[in-house]
Amino acid sequence: LLYQMAFRGWRLRAGAGAGVHLVRSRIAARWELVVVPAATAAAEVSRRIGPGRVLAEVGYAAGFVDGEVADGRTGGLFATLGYGVDL
């Protein structure tokens, strides 16, 4: 799911989607590796500079693990600052 719009030379985008988290848990000598369902929501702002775009993105990812070694929440806040070139 993605929404985007242009505003005075800036591109604004917001989106949400489903995915997975690969979770490795270890307590003492016991460990496990599980894949759990997750959801992500993010917002981005970018502006064309030269052949590409400078962009900043913030978002949140959330998932839940219920394993033999550990159970709880996965994910958290994320932020990205970068430069992208359309190929």
**Average pLDDT in the 4-27 region?**
93
Residue 51, pLDDT score: 92
pLDDT at residue 1 greater than cutoff 80: no
Residue 67, pLDDT score: 84
pLDDT tens string 25-64: 988 899 999 999 999 999 999 999 999 999 999 999 999 9
Element housing 41 (H / E): strand 30-49
Q: pLDDT band for position 70 (50/70/90)?
A: confident
Query: How does strand 52-66 pair with strand 10-27?
Result: unpaired
Tokens at residue 54, please? 């400078």
